[in-house]
């Protein structure tokens, strides 16, 4: 009887150990799967303005929708907290709150969404003076955790390098010319002059971004 009882205990211990290892494997695989579904992008552009001026414009987070097409609004809630609202490609909007983690005037700015937000994202922007010139290289790093089935899956389509690069070019135009220049390809078949965007207007038809816009002022002020 003693031998039989000992065997049962050893069997129970072995089964428990196997179950524990299986649970650890499942947890680790889920962690790996979550990490693999993290969209990230890095982009940069050089702007003909000093670093502090570029930083000061970017630091006013309510300015971001001026050049980031997918943002409907950024509402400042406090010195380090804000609410972001994005327009989803399939229609509708998604909102989340974020807090600033790093704020070094003229040098760097970073933020991340607060715990429990439906959109889990983080970003970091650096402002570097170019050698020998009073210009700024602005470098943006963005990450988005893609949580299956939620709005983050849809929003991830916008976290691509071409989209972020276009956002930075629009920022360059805003700071250098005071406005964003567009080319309405839906109305012209041949090359044609760029037209400034009208204040408060967003056309329903898609617009084509000009690859190398002029830096001369078009009637606005930075």
pLDDT tier for residue 111 given thresholds of 50, 70 and 90: very high
Lookup: tokens for 152: 């983050």
How is residue 204 annotated by DSSP?
Answer: S
Task: Supply the pTM of this predicted model.
Answer: 0.65
Lookup: tokens for 219: 């009637």
Q: How many CA atoms lie within 13 A of 219 on its CB side?
A: 7
Instruction: Work out the number of other CB atoms within 10 angstroms of the CB of residue 124.
Output: 17
pLDDT tier for residue 218 given thresholds of 50, 70 and 90: very low
Lookup: tokens for 89: 């490609």
More confident residue, 172 or 222: 172
pLDDT digits (tens, 9 = 90+) for 33-59: 444 467 788 999 999 999 999 999 999
What is the predicted pLDDT for the residue at 39? 75
């Amino acid at each position: 009887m003693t031998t039989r009882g000992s065997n049962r205990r050893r069997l129970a211990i072995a089964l428990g150990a196997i179950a524990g290892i299986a649970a650890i494997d499942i947890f680790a695989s889920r962690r790996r799967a979550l990490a693999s579904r993290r969209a990230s992008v890095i982009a940069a552009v050089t702007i003909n303005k000093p670093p502090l001026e570029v930083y000061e414009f970017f630091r006013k987070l309510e300015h971001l929708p001026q050049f980031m097409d997918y943002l409907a609004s950024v509402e400042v809630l406090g010195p380090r907290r804000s609410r972001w609202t994005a327009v989803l490609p399939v229609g509708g909007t998604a909102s989340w709150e974020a807090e600033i983690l790093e704020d070094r005037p003229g040098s760097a700015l970073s933020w991340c969404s607060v715990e429990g937000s439906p959109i889990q994202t983080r970003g970091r922007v650096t402002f570097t003076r170019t050698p020998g010139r009073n210009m700024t290289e602005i470098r943006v790093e963005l990450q988005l955790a893609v949580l299956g089935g939620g709005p983050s899956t849809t929003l991830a389509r916008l976290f691509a390098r071409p989209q972020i690069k276009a956002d930075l070019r629009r920022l360059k135009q805003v700071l250098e010319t005071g406005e964003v220049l567009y080319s309405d390809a839906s109305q012209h078949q041949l090359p044609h002059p760029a037209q400034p965007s009208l204040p408060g207007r967003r056309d329903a038809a898609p617009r084509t971004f000009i690859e190398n816009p002029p830096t001369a002022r078009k009637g606005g002020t930075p």
